[in-house]
Chain A
Amino acid sequence: EIVLTQSPGTLSLSPGERATLSCRASQSVSSSLAWYLQKPGQAPRLLIYDASKRAPGIPARFSGSGSGTDFTLTISSLEPEDSAVYYCQQRSNWWTFGQGTKVEIK
C-alpha cells in the first residue's frame, strides 16, 4: 500500500498570505496525485488532479506541482473561505489518502 504523508499537520496563516502544503508518497506515484479540500460537515471537493490540473470551477489561486514522491499544493493568496482540511490522494496503485493538513485563517 502506498502511504501518503502530509505536512504540516496544521497551518495557521492570515488572509492574503501564501500557503504551501506538502504530500510525500512512500513510493513513486508518477503524476497520479489529487488534492481535495473538506469543510466541516461537508463532502470533499476536488481541487487538483494529475498533480497540477485544476478541477472545473476551482479558482486560479490554487495550484499543484510535483511528480514521483513529492508534491505541493499552493494557495497563492489565502481567502477566509479557504479554511478547511486539505487531503492528497494517490491514484497510481489503488487509491489512498493522506492524513490531511488543516488550514486555519487567522
Chain B
Amino acid sequence: EVQLVESGGGVVQPGGSLRLSCAASGFTLTSNYMSWVRQAPGKGLEWVSATFTDGRTFYADSVKGRFTVSRDNSRNTMYLQMNSLRGDDTAVYYCSKDWVDWGQGTLVTVSS
C-alpha cells in the first residue's frame, strides 16, 4: 500500500528556514514522479515543485531560489528545504506521487 507521510511543519519567523520531509512507503521514491503542493489557509491549491525520475526538479516562480527539493534514497524520503520564508508561504504542504497518492499534509506558519 502506498503511503506518504509529511512532517517538519511548524511556526517559523519571517526570513527563517524549515525542512519538510515526505516519507514514502509501498513504492520507491526515485522511480516515481513526485510533487509538492501547498494550500494557504482557506485558499486553493498551488503547485510548488515537481521532481521527475531522472532527478530533474522544477519550481514555481513563487519559491524559485528559496526552496530546494532533495531525496534520501536510503530512507525513501523526499525533503523540501525552505529558506527565506515569508508570510505568504504559510500553508499546508502536501507531497504527492503521480498526483494520485497524497500525504495528509503538514502546516507551516510563518509569523513573528
Contacts and interface: CB of A to CB of B under 8 A. Distances in A.
Contacts of A36: 45
Nearest to A97: B45
Interface residues of A, number: 20
30 contacts: A34-B99, A36-B45, A38-B45, A43-B96, A43-B103, A43-B104, A44-B37, A44-B45, A44-B94, A44-B102, A45-B102, A46-B99, A46-B100, A49-B99, A56-B100, A89-B45, A89-B47, A89-B99, A94-B58, A94-B60, A95-B35, A95-B47, A95-B50, A96-B47, A97-B45, A97-B46, A97-B47, A98-B44, A99-B44, A100-B44
Nearest to A98: B44
Interface of B, helix, strand, loop or mixed by DSSP: strand
Question: Contact size class for B?
Answer: 10 to 19
B106 to A, nearest CB: 11
Contacts of A87: 44-45
Contacts of A100: 44-45
Given A94-B58, A95-B35, A43 B102 contact: yes
B61 to A, nearest CB: 8
Given A55-B100, A95-B35, A43 B94 contact: yes
Interface string A1-44: 10000000000000000000000000000000010101000011
B12 to A, nearest CB: 22
A97 B40 CA distance: 13
A1 to B, nearest CB: 8
A46 to B, nearest CB: 5
Interface string B23-67: 000000000000101000000111100100000001011000000
Interface in A68-100: 87, 89, 94-100
A97 B105 contact: no
Contacts of B44: 87, 97-100
Contacts of A94: 47, 58, 60
